[in-house]
Amino acid sequence: MRVTFLTHCFPGWEGDTKGHVVFAFAGGLAARGIEVSVVSSTVAERGAAAPLRLPDGVRFAPFPVREEERDLKAIASRPFRLLAQMWRFRRAAAREVGRFKPHLIHSFWALPAGVIGASLARRHGIPHIAHCMGSDLRVFAKRNAVTRWLTGRALRGSAAVAGVSRDLLQCAVDDHGVDPARCHHICTGVDSEIFRPIPRERAECELGVSTPRPRALFVGELTAIKGLDTLIEAFGRVRGAGVQGTLHLIGAGDQMDSLRGRVEQMGLGDAVRFEGWQPHGRIPLWMNACDVLVLPSLSEGTPNVVMEALCCGCPVIASRVGGTAEAVGNCRGAALFDAGDADQLQSHLRDALSTPSLSEAAAAGAADFASAHGIESSISLIVSLHRESVREGES
């Protein structure tokens, strides 16, 4: 079987963290004997970076964009820029589909990939799967009438709609009129060979970290939707109550300067560390070096970062949004709070940083959680959905 992946988010060079889940899916399918081609954007200015090493059986058909155009959040609110990128994306996808002749097109994110994939699949008479990842339905589709119309058209024009959480699939049904019978829950899954418990001393040594413990950790984009104002407020209150420790923020984004200003205003300059962008392979080290991961988002699909942390035995405190509660399930190493509620977050954060109970529960449950949320299970579900969709398309 030959499958073409369409996505705006895929690693363009070695060390690039964009789209690592889609990269893992492509490699997993190829390891099972399925030929995979991937059409995605890459940054032209990064031509000197180390070339991306693709798994055997995977081919990459990139189209060039500027660095800022890889961030769909930045252009989704500008319809003309969005449509211009979609036009370039569609040209590259049409060329690759014509050359590769796939049996099926699988698009990650309903917008823009899903719109293009559904159109090309109709043209070539093959099935299309739209895989909803969270921000496509919860953020981009709600930006304006154009993005909402395009998203609905992509979903309703697909043979099947996959979603990383049941909550997200319900959004596809309620907001975009998708037939529930065509919805399939396939979470992103975690690579438990990378995200696993390792001795704290080793993680600290490899990172060169010597900040005071306990340590709280955030991993993600420094943007308004991540609710970092609430985290910094709650952390400041915990420090003010006498609980010492350090907060490490990993990531970059347009809120960096305002967050730095807030930290300085609260007198937390020595306790909050902005670590910037980190290679994907270093994230498990941070999770093992810290005492709790906090995700205070105002909106999410199913955040992989909370599952990755729990696979490392790192406790999690997360806002109760999207598929987050579904992702952590009944894990005793996780605590949930209402998004934007600094009082609730303060209470959970104080307990996590001052008592060992949450850490002990997370460490004890890491192996079982990893077994239940491994990426191999997700790859198996994708393969089954591909075969089912191709059979139905041929009948």
- pLDDT score at 24: 93
CA distances from 44 to 13, 62, 200 (A): 11, 10, 39
Is there a contact between 279 and 15 (Cβ–Cβ < 8 Å)?
Answer: yes
Residues pairing with 319 in the sheet: 337
- pLDDT score at 332: 81
198 pLDDT more than 80: yes
Residue 135 lies inside a defined structural domain of this protein = yes
Question: Which runs of E-coded beta strand occur in 186-251?
Answer: 215-219, 246-250
pLDDT band at 45 (very low <50, low <70, confident <90, very high): low
* Residues 223 and 323 reside in one and the same domain: yes
82 pLDDT more than 60: yes
pLDDT band at 16 (very low <50, low <70, confident <90, very high): confident
Residue 195 lies inside a defined structural domain of this protein = no
Burial grade of 26 (CB within 10 A; 0-12, 13-18, 19 or more): buried
- Give percent of the chain with pLDDT exceeding 90: 69
Residues pairing with 15 in the sheet: none
pLDDT band at 74 (very low <50, low <70, confident <90, very high): low
* Helix (H/G/I), strand (E/B), else coil: 97: helix
Residue 328 lies inside a defined structural domain of this protein = yes
Tens digit of each residue's pLDDT (9 = 90 or more) over 217-260: 999 999 999 999 999 999 999 999 999 899 999 999 999 999 99
- pLDDT score at 50: 65
126 pLDDT more than 80: yes
* Residues 318 and 182 reside in one and the same domain: no
What is the mean predicted confidence (pLDDT) over 95-117?
96
- pLDDT score at 164: 92
Residues 6 or more apart whose CB falls under 8 angstroms from that of 247 comprise: 215, 216, 217, 218, 231, 232, 235, 268, 271, 272, 273
Q: What is the pTM of this model?
A: 0.87
Name the amino acid, one letter, at 84: A
Q: Of 38-47, 143-152, 238-247, 307-316, which range is least confident? A: 38-47
Q: Tokens 């303060």, residue?
A: 346
* Residues 339 and 289 reside in one and the same domain: yes
Residue 305 lies inside a defined structural domain of this protein = yes
Residues 6 or more apart whose CB falls under 8 angstroms from that of 208 comprise: none
- pLDDT score at 302: 82
Q: Is the dihedral of CA 41, 46, 48, 51 positive or negative?
A: negative
* Residues 251 and 113 reside in one and the same domain: no
Q: Nearest-CA neighbor of 19 among 2, 7, 27, 28?
A: 7
Residue 285 lies inside a defined structural domain of this protein = yes
- pLDDT score at 337: 97
- pLDDT score at 287: 97
**Distance between CA 228 and CA 232 in Å, rounded?**
6
- pLDDT score at 380: 96
Domain count, the chain: 2
What is the mean predicted confidence (pLDDT) over 150-165?
95
CATH number at residue 61: 3.40.50.2000
Residue 219 lies inside a defined structural domain of this protein = yes
* Residues 28 and 164 reside in one and the same domain: yes
- pLDDT score at 49: 56
Omega of the bond leading into 356 within 30 degrees of 0 (cis)? no
* Residues 67 and 180 reside in one and the same domain: yes
17 pLDDT more than 90: no
What is the mean predicted confidence (pLDDT) over 2-8?
96
- pLDDT score at 140: 84
* Residues 365 and 254 reside in one and the same domain: yes
User: How would you classify the pairing of strands 160-163 and 128-132?
Assistant: parallel
* Residues 170 and 213 reside in one and the same domain: no
- pLDDT score at 342: 97
Provide the mean pLDDT of the chain: 91
Residue 24 lies inside a defined structural domain of this protein = yes
Query: 64 or 160, which is more confident?
Result: 160
* Residues 176 and 217 reside in one and the same domain: no
What is the mean predicted confidence (pLDDT) over 57-81?
78
Q: Of 46-50, 53-57, 73-77, 151-155, which range is least confident? A: 46-50
* Helix (H/G/I), strand (E/B), else coil: 185: strand
107 pLDDT more than 60: yes
* Residues 209 and 355 reside in one and the same domain: yes
pLDDT band at 323 (very low <50, low <70, confident <90, very high): confident
- pLDDT score at 20: 87
Query: 187 or 128, which is more confident?
Result: 128
What is the mean predicted confidence (pLDDT) over 102-121?
96
Which residue range(s) make up the domain with 310? 200-372
Tokens of 216: 């709280």
48 pLDDT more than 60: no
* Residues 42 and 170 reside in one and the same domain: yes
* Residues 267 and 134 reside in one and the same domain: no
Task: Report helix angle 115-124 to 145-156, nearest 10.
Answer: 40
Residue 120 lies inside a defined structural domain of this protein = yes
